[in-house]
Structure 1
Amino acid sequence: MSDYRAGAMVGDQGYPAWELAQVLGAIKRLFGEASYRAICERLGVAPEVLAHMTLVPVWQVAAAMEALCSLSDDGQIGMRASASYTVAELGFLKGYLARCETLGDCFRLLNDNPEWAGSVNDSLVTLDDTGLSVRWINTLRLTPAQFQCHFLYSVGALVVLGRALCHKAFALESIALGGPDQACDFITALCGVSPQFNAPFYEWRVSLATLSLPVRYPFSDEERKEPCLPQPSFIDVVLYQLKSQMPLLPTQAEMAQALGMSERTLRRKLADNDCSYQRLLDQVRSQAAISLILQANLSAEDIAERLGFTDVSHFRASFKHWLGAPPGKFQRLIGSSQGLGTSNQSSD
């Protein structure tokens, strides 16, 4: 059984402030005070204020991760950065985790609510008789180095925090990386398994036995309180409008009118959050296309029609632009049991 999760976040969408604080803290620990201060200044972040915030715009976290990646050519830097994570740092998320009985409950909580933990990726989650696999999809078209950094940071955090939550050491069953062979001693030591390199995807897998481990972390009464989260961001509002109008997506001028502002104001508000209207259009369309590929045995022509394309060749070219591979090849790479219709099996 596989489920597609469209969790990628952009612009001013709310990302947990503790994650930004942890990434910045890791930069300070790994690269020193000067690098830490320079990046805080570049992002416009005041560390003393960050500690009292609930959410920050995701572009700040993405920029901090980009800075982390640029400071080292170590392919393991993402996991090194997350290895010092503690449950105490998890802010409002502790109020939700305290209600979980097992690590599996914790995973389902985060998987169903990516806005509570933050996410820069879409994913394909597969559950079988022995374990659970999570395959990342690079919807936001990050560079390979940045995508691997984000992936390893997430996997490292999951392992470290999972062990702290259940008070028990466990190993992952497997890790697959799309990059070439490289040093992996830190990954192997932390996760208990050596990664597979040159894979057609980025994926981690854990056993059902591990997911059944009980949560034993002693949450305090204060940590158990249910948080009050801020209202949706501006980009959340724009994305909601786009998704509700699929496949007839409005032009930028039409969207501005619907939001009661000028097109220039809309463009500026998106640019202020390191985003653009075209980027949001591409994200909505690419996620809809992935969902259709995974959920039904449709031909490329069928999918193109459902997405509002009048020409299947235009759809194929657009899909390759969005995700780096044409629809047929992408379907094979993510390993879905559902394929494109037989009329198009010979052509990507």
Structure 2
Amino acid sequence: MTIKPSSGAAGGQISARFGAGLLEQLRLMGIAPEDLLPPQRLREIRASDARTQMPLSEWVAIMEGAVHVSGDPDLALKAGAGIKPGQLGLLGHVLMSCATVGEAIRQAGRYLRLLHAIGGAEPVIRDGQLEVPMSWTDGTLPSPLIAQFRLAACAGMGRWLTGLPELRMDAWFQFPAPQDLSIYQRVFGGRLHFDQAQTKLAHPVDYLQLPVAMADPAMQQLAQAQAETLLRELATESAFLQELDAVLTRGLPLGRVSLAETAAALRLSTRTLHRRLEEEGTAFRAELDRVRRRIAETLLRDPRVTLADIAFLLGYTEQSTFQQAFKRWTGKTPGQYRSQQ
């Protein structure tokens, strides 16, 4: 089946690496990503880097498609509970290197922007419990699939980081209680609340002192330095350039990155697109080259991806044209760059 963006999802963008993590988790659960997305879109998502974004509506549509293919209404809970830090990109590496659960929660709050821009989580301590309420950026109630996945992922992450499967969490949801609560009880282990004003997770405050099994101070410094760099880039880049980046990233493999096609995707005239880029102190060709270079450098780190495939994914009809462009951007041939990684 070919999915379409869900009309019932909240707006916003998420990291395409988060989308890639979801697809990998579904594959491990026996659901072929090829049954959910066209091959071209799969390649785009799998080739994404930490800066690449995808619409939240597409993420929800992938999950809806997986529920349909599997016939399992509880799939989002199961997928969330099974997600691993390594499937969260740079944020996952930060979490794995922390010393304690409390530190991991603090770092997750700081670097959540690297994963998505759909809402936050502000922990509070109340009656001996740490409560982590989930907020939604645009103020609208998102698909229940998002709440199921997000809370189950938090619960599963805590158990994975500590190596303690017996940890129990209480969970609050804003949708009505389903008839069968058995999967909820297995995923959270604590008290369950439905038809609530907020979506949130809670656990004993003592859990904050639990050590992270894979804590690594040296890795923590490296991961946090990379995360800080990326956060600064995201903070200084305007929303318009971020949207342009996403449009170009999606359009490259399809060969739809002419000025006119890009302007149409942004719902602008070509004249207005030119003006907006001038206001940002850049130009269309410069932005297209920037996106192509970023994607090329990411793909060249994977020895399984051929130079011909990279040229195709960047919208070039000839491999030689890609090689000439890469030498112009970096002063190195693609082969030289790959051998140094």
Q: Deviations over 1:130-179 (max 9, x none)?
A: 122122233336665x2x21122122222222212112234344211111
Deviation at 1:188, TM superposition (A): 0.9
Tell me the SS of whatever aligns to 2:131. strand
Do structure 1's residue 165 and structure 2's residue 164 form an aligned pair?
A: no
Q: Is the 8 A contact 2:109 2:121 kept in 1?
A: no
Q: Distance in 2 between matches of 1:199 and 1:23?
A: 27
> Higher helix share goes to which structure?
2
Match of 1:203 in 2: 200
Deviations 1:77-123 (A, max 9, x none): 22111222233434323542355221011011011221234352244
Q: Verify: 1:37 aligned to 2:34, yes or no.
A: yes
Q: CA deviation at 1:254?
A: 10
Separation in 2, partners of 1:120, 1:261: 27
What SS is found at the alignment partner of 1:151? helix
Partner residue of 2:15? 15
Question: Is the 1:16–1:54 contact (alpha carbons within 8 Å) kept by the matching residues of 2?
Answer: yes
Q: 1:204 to 1:94 in 2, by over 3 A?
A: closer
Report the TM-score, using the length of structure 2 for normalisation: 0.56
Distance in 1 (CA, whole Å) between partners of 2:42 and 2:234 is 19
5+ residue gaps, structure 1: 1-7, 241-251, 270-348
**Residue identity opposite 1:112 in structure 2:** R
Are residues 95 and 72 of structure 1, via their aligned partners in 2, closer, same or farther at CA, if it must alter by over 3 Å? Answer: closer
Aligned to 2:61: 66
Counterpart residue type for residue 22 of structure 1: G
Rate the CA distance shift 1:109–1:222 in 2: closer, same or farther, 3 A. Answer: closer
Which of structure 1's runs of 4+ aligned residues deviate more than 4 A? 141-144, 218-224, 233-236, 252-259
SS in 2 for 1:83: helix
- Structural RMSD (CA): 4.1
Alignment of 1:277-292 (within 5 A): none
Count of matched residue positions in the alignment of Structure 1 and Structure 2? 239
Residues 53, 126 of structure 1: alpha-carbon distance in 2 compared, 3 angstrom cutoff: same
Residue in structure 1 matched with residue 182 of structure 2 by the alignment? 185
CA offsets per residue over residues 199-223 of structure 1, 9 Å max, x none?
Answer: 1221211221112111122659778
Contact between 2:97 and 2:219, CA under 8 Å: does it hold in 1? no
- Decide whether aligned partners of structure 1 residues 20 and 92 sit closer, same or farther in structure 2, where only a CA change above 3 A counts: same
Q: Structure 1 CA distance, aligned partners of 2:40 and 2:279? A: 27
Q: Which residue of 1 aligns with 2:128?
A: 130
Deviation at 1:56, TM superposition (A): 2.6
Change in 2 beyond 3 A, CA 1:239/1:207: farther
AA of the residue aligned to 1:101: A
Contact preservation (8 Å) 2:168, 2:203: yes
- Find out whether 1:214 has 2:211 as its counterpart: yes
Query: What residue in structure 2 maps to residue 24 of structure 1?
Result: 23
SS in 2 for 1:193: strand
Taking the aligned partners of 2:84 and 2:130, their CA distance within structure 1 comes to 24
Percent identity (aligned): 13
Letter in 2 for 1:72: V
| Compared CA separation, residues 218 and 119, structure 1 to 2 (3 A) | same
Q: Pick closer, same or farther for the CA change 1:239–1:99 going to 2, 3 Å.
A: farther
Tell me the TM-score normalized by structure 1: 0.55
SS in structure 2 at match of 1:160: helix
Aligned to 2:43: 46
- DSSP-derived class of the 1:46 partner: helix
Secondary structure of the residue aligned to 1:139 is coil
